[in-house]
Every structure is written in structure tokens, then in C-alpha cells.
Structure 1
Amino acid sequence: MNNWLPHFNRSRASRRVLLAVLITAAVSGYFMGLRQTRSQVSLTRPTELSTAQASRSGDAPDRSVPGIVTYSEVNRKRSGPNAGWRSDLHLLIGPPRLALTTNAPPEFRAAAVAQRQTRRAFDGAPPVVPHPITQDSSSACLACHASGLAVKDRTASKVSHAHFSNCTQCHVPAGGPQIPLGDAALREPSSGNSFAGFTAFGPGKRAWPGAPPTIPHATLMRSDCLSCHGPGGLYGLRTPHVERLLCTQCHAPDARLDQRLVAHE
């Protein structure tokens, strides 16, 4: 009758051992989960070092994690591996050229005047554009010509007048129109034209030796004298006193400019 008691006692002991193992595993897993959760939460919390602590420890705050910025600042915020990359045009401007200490020799001035005439139909005409034009707005021209951008041996002439919205209204391509023209009369606009413009006036006259020379050209659309006579202009046209701001205080327009006659054939 009592033969089953030993088996019952052994199975009861086995159940107790199994229950103890399960309880131990459950308790261990619970505490391990709490520990892992606490470590993950600590990683999401920003660690900031106050100014006082930084000054005492001598360590700078960690900059490896980018700061949070507003949406309006995203485009202006420089971050990532290309944060130090700069592609602005004004960074290509070379060092300023040194101004002359004395006036350039006459032969250099004559060479500069001859070079200017190669890009003008006549004396006083707006210069032509010596490069291809892809102008969507005046800002495309002003990107280089507003400040007289100089890159290596290439120099963009600085604008000598106030900024206007349509540069090609006066400055046309040197190679002619950029559109195909089927009419022969349009392809040769100068045929049958007997107009002859002014030639270069020459150097300005002086009232007496040592007096400031007169201005040998018209001043219309030439309000910024330093665009041609400053350090960025041709060597033969540079002035030795760029620090003086009011040019017409000493240099007056030559009266003979208004008395010239257009030469006709």
C-alpha cells in the first residue's frame, strides 16, 4: 500500500528544486533587465559640463555630438565632415595690390589707353564683354565685377557706376549676338554705316607745371574713379594717392571735351 510514497517524495523534491531554479532565473533576469535599462537611459541623457567645472578640470566640453538648431538655422549651420569647406567667391580674392608711389611713365600710360580701346567701339563707349555671357540677372555679373575680383592673372574690372538691373543693355558680347541670325543685314549691322566716334583724348592738360591734370574723359557713368585708377586698374592708369576720396576737388573735367566734333567721312 505504501510502495508509492518513496516515488512521491522523490518527485516532490524534484519539483522543489525545479521551482527554486525557476525563481532564481526569474529574479536574476529581472535585475539584469533593470540594470540594462538603466544603462540605456543614461546614454540618452546629455552630459553637460558647466563653465566652473570646465575651468577647474581644464577639459573642454565634448563637441562630437552636434547641437540641436532650429529649422531656420539648418541651412546656415555648418556641421559634419565638410564643415570646414568654403566655396565663396570672395575667398578667391587675392591680396590687394600696392598703390604706386609716383605716376607711371608715359609709355605705360599709352599702353594702358591702347588696351582699353580694344574693347570699346569709340572713346566713351561702354566696353564689350570679352567672355561668354550666361546672365540670368545682374547678380551674375556683380559676383565678380562688384568688387573687382582677381584670380591669379585674371582681373574682373570693377563697376565704375551705380548698379543697374540689366548689364547687357549697354555691355554686349565681343563676339556679337549669341543667337543665330538668318538675315544678312542683321549679321552685318555695320555695313553702310559711316559713323565714326571719338578717339582717345590723350592726357589731361595742366594749368602749370605741378598742377593736377584735368580729366581727359567724360565723367558720366564713371563715378568711381578707383575702378580704373585704383590698385586694381591697369598699371599705367593707377594713381599714387588712392587715399584721397574726392577726386574732383583737384581734378576738373577738361572744357575741350564738350567742344569736340564727331568726325564724319
Structure 2
Amino acid sequence: MKTITIFLFSILLNGCGSTNQANATTDMKQNISDNLNGSFVVSKLGESTSVQNDLTIKFDDATKRVSGFSGCNNFSGSYQIKDKKIAILNLISTEKACLDDTNMVESKFLQSLTKANNFKIKNNEIVFLNDSKQLFNAKPNTITDTAKQSQDNSMIIEYTAITRGTYKMVKVDQNSIKSQLSRTAQEETTACSKDNWDTLKSLVEPINLKALKTLEPPSKAHQHDGAAIANLTIIVNGETYQTPAFDHGNPPKEIADLVNKLLDLTTPETKKEN
């Protein structure tokens, strides 16, 4: 009798476990189907090419930002989705030099991202397509965010200041400093020295990146054309963090030193204006 009781109890436990697993799978499918929110690993490029590289892609439904690791570099952008129609926009990437084979995979993946215009769910994976052509497959990522990401200080810091008549941009990674004075001007590129990169990293370190989106601008002249509309974006390990708009020349105190350093690194024309 005791043996029968234990056997029945074991069946009940396994049944509950199976039910919980089924519910979790159903929830995961629903979440993927509704908004693609979450982190995924690319399992296939094209219709038949298995992926040996560790390619990842993460969708943040709250901010409509997409980010990930493309085999050698980190990337970030925005996306729009409606009724399984998707558009991945404004992709930017770090510019680390890659081996030829890795570069080929990375280029194919990044091109596939920009070409994707719809998706479907098949066998617990997302299949991204351009119309009916299969571009790549991705499955939910069960690895922690720190696993297999680029661990070599890869980071992008970008500052923009925009009005109806002007445009200023500075974008820095560990290799280069890029600046642009207007929408029609040619982008200027100079090398980023180790000292400057170390300084930028030290200025980013104390900043609560997750709180950037909640920073309160100290003044709001940009709301009525009294100042250029400024934004700061920081990308670390494929994660994108961005401030709300603030006045060019008067950043929130939490990022003031970093913004001033960025402007000091650019050509004289792009430096901070009082």
C-alpha cells in the first residue's frame, strides 16, 4: 500500500511539473508572438546555414530599442512592429576589426536585420523574413547577459544637438572620435587615444545607466527653440541607454562632466557653446 501511495504521488508531481513547463512555454510563445520582447540567440542564417558564431539580438518593448552582438561588434537601433510586420531602423555598430570569416557572417547578419519586414513563430523559434524569403532564425536566450559578449571595453558614446537650422554630433568608441557639424557636412574622424578612452570610461562608470532615461533637464529652453535639443546615448555590451532631451550647453549634472569631455574631444566648431 505504501509503495502504491508513493507511486501515485510521483505521478502527481510529474504531472504538475509538466503542466508548469507547458504553461511557461505557452507564456513564452505568447510574449514572442505579441511583441518580441526579450533576448534571443541566432540559430540559423538564411534557409540552411547553421551559425557557429555567438550572435544575439534583444528587443526591449518598453523603449522599442533593439541591440545585440553580431559576431565581432555590438549593434543597436530601434524597431517598429505591428501585426507581425517589423522594421528595424537606425542601426549603429562598434567598429572593431574582424577576421575575414567573422566579418562575412557579421555583414550578412546586419544586412538581414535591415531587410527583415515580417516574422513568424515556428518550433519555439522566431523566423525573420523579407516577404517570404527566410533571413534568420532566433531562439530565446537562456544564457546570462554577460556570457560571450564582447569584453574588451566595447562601448559607444554619442551626443547630438539639433535645432531646425543646425546639427551637431560626436560619437566616440575605443578607436575613433567622429564629429559632424551639419546634416550635409562630411563626417570628421580622428583617433581616440588610450588616455582619452580611459577618461571617458572613468566618467561613464559612476553614471547609473538605467536611470539615464529618467534624468530631469535643468532647463527647458529647447522646448521653445531657445536652445538646441540635446541627447546623450551610451551603448554598453549591446545595451542602449539614452537621456531625455535637454538643452545643449546645460546638461543634467549627472552627465555634465561626460558631455563636456565629449565636446572637448571634437573639432573646435563642435565644442560647447555658451
Same topology, TM > 0.5: no
Which structure exhibits the higher relative contact order, with contacts defined as CA atoms closer than 8 Å and separated by 6 or more residues? 1
TM-score, structure 1 length as denominator?
A: 0.22
Query: Hey, which of these two has a bigger chunk of strand by percent?
Result: 2
TM-score after normalising by structure 2: 0.21
Q: Which has the larger radius of gyration?
A: 1
